[in-house]
Structure 1
């Protein structure tokens, strides 16, 4: 497989963040629901799967369009089956061991293991369509929504729109008004925040936002963004897979990328388009300094995975999990389908 040659350039355009609509609404006390009786099955979800995470106890949590599932190594439990029929997107275990589940249309659910609490726009959330959840170094929870980002400090929300205050042309402004979705949020080692959006990917230093560009072109429709162990930033989206080392951007493939993940050995895993659908690709961590690193393709070879692949996870046992029209586990040789 051939990959595009490396080319680098970073142009930064600084603009201010508009705090219009920021709110400090105190949260209501009546949104708590007791834990319902959970539904336990021997098989996994058969719905679109967007997020897979492993908690500190070793359980695997799976965010799907059919609910949030917990896998204990033997059986699957639909934790949200009696709480909501919404499509779930993202799952986060915070530093206190509590869980946050994002939905498309019903905001966010907070779960302490016993009861659920729902947060929506009525409580100050920017939008009820929530794509990503992230906890920063201070314990503040960030939500990527279809109307920008929301930050929750435990008491109130503060909202940010990514593309206000910019000197764009009319056509560009119309494009960005419809593409303010925040797909992914991270805080890097220096304390700066990176936002992957359907519009322009950008950095926030606490005061201003800076648009990311390559060869003078903004990164648009970035689906995922991570920081690796060495401090490099990886972006995956419509423009392919990119790495930023603090000085330059390097392009590894121009194929569309839906998800980026670093395993314990420093290998970079992506889900990327192929001529016949989507596959997993592993970029060998020991060769990433080369212009043509060693890349291994893992083809799921299933009609159910011809759509985008999301939620890549390396479990404690070293297996690689990923989601599509269900959840799958790759042990290095074979792929296991957990559907009924």
Structure 2
């Protein structure tokens, strides 16, 4: 099953849109004319992505994008046309354009330059879903998500629900830095193997959109917890049996064949004992080509679940616990980690090793 890519945190200011595109064989040459050649990457690399031509894009939290083609490492920043240097995700369209999500908006790289997309709000909130859509976060209160159809970046709003009644408590948004104060502010955006879109919110649960209707997951564990902590639905992954894991080890869900309802099952049995005083939630996850679940917690390393056993892979650098932000599977099914304090890590089959690109 194709790995879910995990995307979150973007804002929108003034945007400029253009439809320019170069063939992929020209993109490599044009890319090399931008940015500065550097010898190493920032320590805060939140996102990892490999494009169709096997080039790597590393997104930092403040120093722009690092592009590695196997020979040279280049750094692209706002000086080169990026809308912001705090990177939150990468996507690629069918033409080979790279879309870079930041907390100040979305930059499109067309092979020769970075272009900032102009968002527009769908006044009638008309949702639509096609196979080639790209979806992005926004920090605006009146809209929850952007859908990019290849021409327009359209702002949409999730269905409003009676949250107080559903969760039996007063539900309010938190307004974390670079996020809106709306309870529907989106943490996680994922696509399942059937092409349905999943949206995980900060305190309003999760929503599944099949192109026609929404299915709302309103479980209390997906909102503000009884002790006041707010994990949020940051990552949504589908296991080999078709169950969905919504950012926690506690439960998994099965959607009915017609998509109108869901059933809840126990997740990893007694999983809370693995975490001592930490809540059993993960901030990023994926399923590998063998059907194993891989999940990261900010501290405590990487967790692998094969359907029976939960295993832990500690990740350290210079005797310090590495703070994990994301996990990614590349074109060769190699696992990568984005971190908040130690750069990038790559799995060698047994442990995660720090990755150091070398300029040739």
Fold shared by both chains (TM-score > 0.5): yes
Alignment of 1:47-66 (within 5 A): 47=44, 49-65=45-61, 66=63
For residue 78 of structure 1, report the CA deviation from its aligned partner.
1.9
Cα distance in structure 2, aligned partners of 1:305 and 1:149 = 36
With normalisation by structure 1, the TM-score equals 0.72
The answer to whether structure 1 residue 209 and structure 2 residue 207 are counterparts is: no
Alignment-derived partner of residue 46 in structure 1 = 43
The answer to whether structure 1 residue 114 and structure 2 residue 112 are counterparts is: yes
SS at match of 1:266: coil
Cα 1:313/1:331, change in 2 over 3 Å: same
Alignment-derived partner of residue 198 in structure 2 = 194
Alignment of 1:62-73 (within 5 A): 62-65=58-61, 66-73=63-70
For residue 73 of structure 1, report the CA deviation from its aligned partner.
3.4
Cα distance in structure 1, aligned partners of 2:319 and 2:252 = 30
The answer to whether structure 1 residue 139 and structure 2 residue 132 are counterparts is: yes
Please, which of 227, 244, 250 is the counterpart of residue 266 of structure 2?
250
Cα 1:156/1:30, change in 2 over 3 Å: closer
For residue 57 of structure 1, report the CA deviation from its aligned partner.
2.0
Cα distance in structure 1, aligned partners of 2:53 and 2:352 = 24
For residue 224 of structure 1, report the CA deviation from its aligned partner.
0.7
Alignment of 1:86-235 (within 5 A): 86-105=85-104, 107-120=105-118, 123-124=119-120, 137-147=130-140, 148-162=144-158, 164-166=160-162, 168=164, 172-175=170-173, 178-199=182-203, 200-214=205-219, 217=220, 219-220=222-223, 221-235=232-246
For residue 139 of structure 1, report the CA deviation from its aligned partner.
1.0
Cα 1:153/1:46, change in 2 over 3 Å: same
* Contact 2:17/2:115 (<8 A) preserved: no
Alignment-derived partner of residue 79 in structure 1 = 76
* Contact 2:283/2:295 (<8 A) preserved: yes
Please, which of 292, 303, 306 is the counterpart of residue 281 of structure 1?
303
Cα distance in structure 2, aligned partners of 1:181 and 1:296 = 32
Q: Could you tell me which runs of 5 or more consecutive residues in structure 1 were left unpaired when the two chains were aligned.
A: 1-25, 127-135
Cα distance in structure 2, aligned partners of 1:104 and 1:315 = 24
The answer to whether structure 1 residue 329 and structure 2 residue 346 are counterparts is: yes
With normalisation by structure 2, the TM-score equals 0.68
Give the count of matched residue pairs.
Answer: 288
More strand by share: 1
For residue 104 of structure 1, report the CA deviation from its aligned partner.
1.0
* Contact 1:100/1:110 (<8 A) preserved: yes
For residue 74 of structure 1, report the CA deviation from its aligned partner.
4.4
For residue 67 of structure 1, report the CA deviation from its aligned partner.
1.3
Cα 1:194/1:99, change in 2 over 3 Å: same
Cα distance in structure 2, aligned partners of 1:50 and 1:93 = 18
What value does the CA root-mean-square deviation take over the aligned residues? 3.4
Cα distance in structure 2, aligned partners of 1:218 and 1:299 = 26
Cα distance in structure 1, aligned partners of 2:88 and 2:250 = 22
SS at match of 2:346: strand
Cα 1:37/1:55, change in 2 over 3 Å: closer
Moved more, 162-171 or 107-116: 162-171
* Contact 1:92/1:100 (<8 A) preserved: yes
Q: Which runs of 4+ in 1 moved over 6 A?
A: none
Q: Could you tell me which runs of 5 or more consecutive residues in structure 2 were left unpaired when the two chains were aligned.
A: 1-14, 22-29, 123-128, 175-180, 224-231, 256-262, 273-279
For residue 328 of structure 1, report the CA deviation from its aligned partner.
1.2
What whole-Å deviation, never above 9, does each CA across 1:105-160 have from its counterpart, x for those lacking one?
Answer: 2x10011121211024xx3269xxxxxxxxx7521221122231111223334322
The answer to whether structure 1 residue 262 and structure 2 residue 258 are counterparts is: no
Alignment-derived partner of residue 315 in structure 1 = 330
